[in-house]
Amino acid sequence: MIGRIVDIARTYPNAPAVSMAGRTLSYADLDSASSRLANAIVARGIGVGDLVGIAVERSVELIIAILGVLKTGAAYAAIDPEYPPERVAQMCAAVDMALVLTTEKGLGTRPPFGAPRLHLDRDRERIAAFADTFELPELSPNDLVYVVFTSGSTGTPKAAAVHQAGWMNLMSWFVDEFKISPQDRALIVSSFSFDITQRAIVMPLLAGGQLHLCPFPTIDAAAVLDQIRRDEISLLNCAPSAFYPLAESPERAAAGRLRCLFLGGEPINAARLQAWAEASTTTTRVANVYGTAECSDVSTFHVLSDYKRYIEQGVPAGHVITNTRVHLLDDSGRPVSPGEVGEIVIAGVGVGKGYVNDLAATRRKFIADPEVPDQIAYRSGDLGRWLPDVGLVFEGRADHQVKIRGNRVDLGDVESLLRQDVRLRDAVAVKLEAGNAETLAAMLLVDGLPADAEMLAAEVRKALARRAPVFMIPTHIEFVTAFPLNPNGKVDRPTIVKAFERVASVQGAVEEKHTSTEQEIARIFSSILNVSSVGLDDNFFDLGGYSMLVTEALAEINSNLDAGVTIYDFLTGPTVRALAERIAHEPATQA
């Protein structure tokens, strides 16, 4: 792969290669600078088989660092210095690095994490003294290219290793399938530690295109759209959640000038793209690219066309790329029947070399290929099924299948049902655990925060209750105008869980109950929820109630007060005052 980029530099030496904030390097300049750095690295005894950490902020120097490492035959570990220090420390501790390339702005004065450093800014003169030519070493298909860090269930990053054969297969497929050419200009908006970013950087360089780096560490929709317009950007890779603000901006027509948009890393909400994608000013070819960091990033793809269908059925993951196989297996490791849901297991040349320094995790996730037993396949933890016309359909994460008081709930199903409410732009459902309580929570995206959030939450619950069983109705609801995103541009589910934890055990203030009905309802709430005091306007769900307890509370209220309160009444007004008023207005003839 690096040899192909060097050939491009010789073919188009004066063509612009990389640009950021008014600074541009030609292919010849980039080749010379990366060769000097490669010589400086080799002078430290580092080469094929070694791992070099790159902890450089988004800059022209970052691209020089990547190519410099690859020229030596070493692999690089992608470390975003914008990440929290604790996370950076975990990433560095997960692998054995022979060297870390950084800058004063990058790791700065942070501890060395056990590896020597070469500062691209402070050591600039020493690096510049090396020769600006470099002879590439011989590499095997199994040699490493890079390592990216994925989040494990424990929160500790796992280092997924990608080899030369799989990476070159993917890059060649991208260039051929989407006709990447010297006329293309790609924009980098995602974190360096994200697997999307690795392909976004290399793709245009392999074809003689121009690479542009967004100068902002987080995505600013207006600024990105302005840069797309100003720099005539034609290629963009990002997570769907990072692109939605562009598609929904008043200036969204600028994004329609993109030739190709590659969305990956999470499921696509087609409703948030439809208006932009179907506008007369949009000529963009939009592709859903599905895969995992452990398998060279992309294994299947689907070019979007029928947004009405996608809104109803979801966006397919599509068909496999070159030299790739996908199996769907049941819990026993056997292939499922056509149309049935199974775990997505990826095989073929793209399957990586496992997790660095984590043999146990590698053995759990990397298994014998069911079709070619002497080769390795990867258990993704994703669920999917095959449909004859569109190929692979993503059916959620296996770990998003949660139990709520004994009932199996797919968080994706809850989100899909919530999105059917025209008042909501999007929804994210999460599971909360407090002591022995298991509850659902939903963060709902709206255009503007409601004047009466409790009333709207009650209406949303009531609407959902018409289409879903009570255990799928979120206990806690919060309205937001923007979801929290992680540095990779994906919805940050852990942050959403933390946002709800503060209300999971809220207790109401003491308030005198004026009627016997109010007193009895308050007593029932207090007994069922195990809270010492309940106010007239305290929300049952905010006090720690959840769907299964609604049934218990309803049974007691109707039995003790000889009432006819329904589930819809409860969800519409889950407070002592509202329920008492509902009972007070029941027909006098009620038995």
- The secondary structure of residue 99, as a DSSP letter, is E
Confidence band (pLDDT; 50, 70, 90) for 114? Answer: confident
Does 450 lie in the same domain as 490? Answer: yes
CA 242, CA 237: separation in Å to the nearest integer?
Answer: 10
Structure tokens at 106: 């990058």
Decide if 539 is inside a domain.
yes
Is 2 within the bounds of a domain?
yes
Judge if 460 and 556 occupy the same domain. no
Residue 70 in any domain: the answer is yes
Do residues 158 and 137 lie in contact, with contact meaning Cβ atoms separated by under 8 Å? no
Q: Which amino acid is at 126?
A: R
Within this chain, do residues 424 and 462 fall inside the same structural domain, yes or no? yes
Do 38 and 105 belong to one domain?
Answer: yes
Indicate the helix (H) or strand (E) that contains 417.
helix 411-419
Give the pLDDT of residue 407.
Answer: 65
Q: Please say which residue of 449, 477, 501 terminates a domain.
A: 501
Give the domain CATH number at 576: 1.10.1200.10
Question: What's the whole-number average pLDDT of the chain?
Answer: 89
Residue 212 within any structural domain of the chain: no
60 torsion bin: left (phi>0), alpha (psi -120 to 50), beta (else): alpha
Dihedral angle of Cα 401, 402, 403, 404, to the nearest 10 degrees: -120
Q: At 195, which amino acid appears? A: D
Q: One-letter amino acid identity for 320?
A: V
Residue 378 corresponds to which amino acid? Y
Chosen domain end from 137, 162, 187: 162
**pLDDT more than 90, % of the chain:** 60
For residue 90, what is the domain's CATH number? 3.40.50.980
Residue 89: CB atoms within 10 A of its CB come to 14
Shared domain for 435 and 579, answered yes or no, is no
Residues 453 and 551 occupy one common structural domain: no
Which residues lie across from 24 on neighbouring strands? Answer: 19
pLDDT confidence of 455, banded at 50, 70, 90? confident
In DSSP terms, 511 is beta-bridged to none
DSSP 319-366: EE-TTEEEEEE-TTSPBPPTT--EEEEEEETT----BTT-HHHHHHHE
Residue 223 lies in a domain: no
Q: Are residues 57 and 128 in the same domain?
A: yes
Average pLDDT over residues 169-186: 97
Exposed (0-12), middle (13-18) or buried (19+): which is 171, by Cβ within 10 Å? buried
Q: What is the CATH number of the domain that holds 416?
A: 3.30.300.30
Question: What is d(CA 213, CA 530) in angstroms, rounded to the nearest whole number?
Answer: 55
Domain that holds residue 66: 1-149+157-162
Domain assignment of residue 349, yes or no = no
- Sign for the CA dihedral angle at 571, 575, 576, 578 comes to negative
465 and 521 fall within a common domain: no
pLDDT in tens, 41-89: 999 999 999 999 999 999 999 999 999 999 999 999 999 988 878 788 8
If pLDDT is split at 50, 70 and 90, which confidence band does 588 have? Answer: low
Does 111 have pLDDT greater than 70? no
Backbone phi and psi for residue 279, each to the nearest 5 degrees, phi listed first: -70, 150
Residue 413 and residue 527 share a domain: no
25: CB partners within 8 A, 6+ apart = 16, 17, 18, 19, 33, 60, 64
Q: Nearest 5 degrees, angle CA 224-CA 225-CA 228?
A: 85
Give the model's confidence band at 27: pLDDT under 50 very low, under 70 low, under 90 confident, else very high: very high
End-to-end CA distance of the chain: 80
Residue 201 in contact with residue 211, Cβ under 8 Å? yes
550: part of which helix (H) or strand (E)?
A: helix 547-560
Task: Flag whether 183 is in a domain.
Answer: no
514, 485 in Cβ contact below 8 A?
no
3-state secondary structure of 433: strand
DSSP string, 459-509: HHHHHHHTTS-GGGS-SEEEEESS--B-TTSSB-HHHHHHHHHTTTT--PP
CB-CB contact of 518 with 536 (8 Å): yes
- Give the Cα separation of 347 and 295 in Å (integer): 8
Beta bridge partners of 403: 408
In the predicted structure, residue 397 carries a pLDDT above the cut 70? yes
User: At which of 162, 197, 215 does a domain end?
Assistant: 162
Say yes or no: 535 and 472 in one domain: no
pLDDT exceeds cutoff 90 at 508: no
* pLDDT for the residue numbered 511: 44
Same domain (yes/no): 575, 532: yes
Give me the number of domains the chain comprises. Answer: 3
| Distance (Å, whole) CA 461 – CA 431 | 16
The answer on 534 and 466 residing in a single domain is no
* pLDDT tens digits, one per residue of 306-345: 999 999 889 999 999 999 999 999 988 999 998 999 999 9
Residue 327 counted as domain residue: no
d(CA 213, CA 21): 8
Q: For 381-409, what is the mean pLDDT? A: 83
Q: Count other Cβ atoms within 10 Å, centred on residue 304.
A: 22
Query: What's the pTM?
Result: 0.79
- Between these two residues, 172 and 515, which has the higher pLDDT value? 172
Could you tell me if 328 and 380 are in contact, meaning their C-beta atoms sit under 8 angstroms apart?
A: no
**Of the ranges 14-28, 200-214, 433-447, 503-517, which one carries the lowest mean pLDDT score?**
503-517
For residues 126 and 546, which has the higher predicted lDDT (pLDDT)? 126
Check if the beta carbon of residue 429 is closer than 8 Å to that of residue 474. yes
